[in-house]
Homo-oligomer: A and B are copies of this chain.
Amino acid sequence: MSENIMNDVCESESTHPEIVRTVSEKLPDVELLYDVAELFKVFGDSTRVRILCALFESEMCVCDIAEVLDMTQSAISHQLRVLKQARLVKYRRDGKTVYYSLADDHIQTIFDQAFEHIME
């Protein structure tokens, strides 16, 4: 009855109490870190990465993006919606066609860093 309530957790309060305390203090707010993860989650899909990289070169309409990536227009539109909600792309309408472009210069900086990390 007085058995273990904690079966998967360390028995001790912590192996290194000082480290746990100082790291806990310095660790940024949970909500901020959650937002960071959300941003990276948007970048974490190859279709969206390809769309964004395409937009690095030029403003484009949905139809053209679909052709460059060799995917259906619907799939592209769905992903543009995600990018739009994340405020990563902006758009303007001209007649029937909608032109998308990058909303922010930070994006390319982040991507450049990622490229560097991969090729190190």
Q: Kindly state the interface size class of chain A when it binds its partner.
A: 35 or more
Interface flags for A1-45 (1: CB within 8 Å of B; 0: not) read 000000011101111100110111011101011111111111111
Q: Is the pair A22, B53 in contact by a Cβ cutoff of 8 Å?
A: no
Question: Is there a chain B Cβ closer than 8 Å to A74's Cβ?
Answer: yes
Q: Is the pair B10, A66 in contact by a Cβ cutoff of 8 Å?
A: yes
Which residues of the other chain, B, contact A114 by a CB distance below 8 angstroms?
36, 39-40, 110
Q: Is the pair A9, B118 in contact by a Cβ cutoff of 8 Å?
A: no
Given contacts A20-B68, A35-B118, 8 further A-B contacts (CB under 8 A): A8-B72, A14-B64, A14-B67, A23-B54, A23-B58, A32-B118, A36-B43, A37-B44
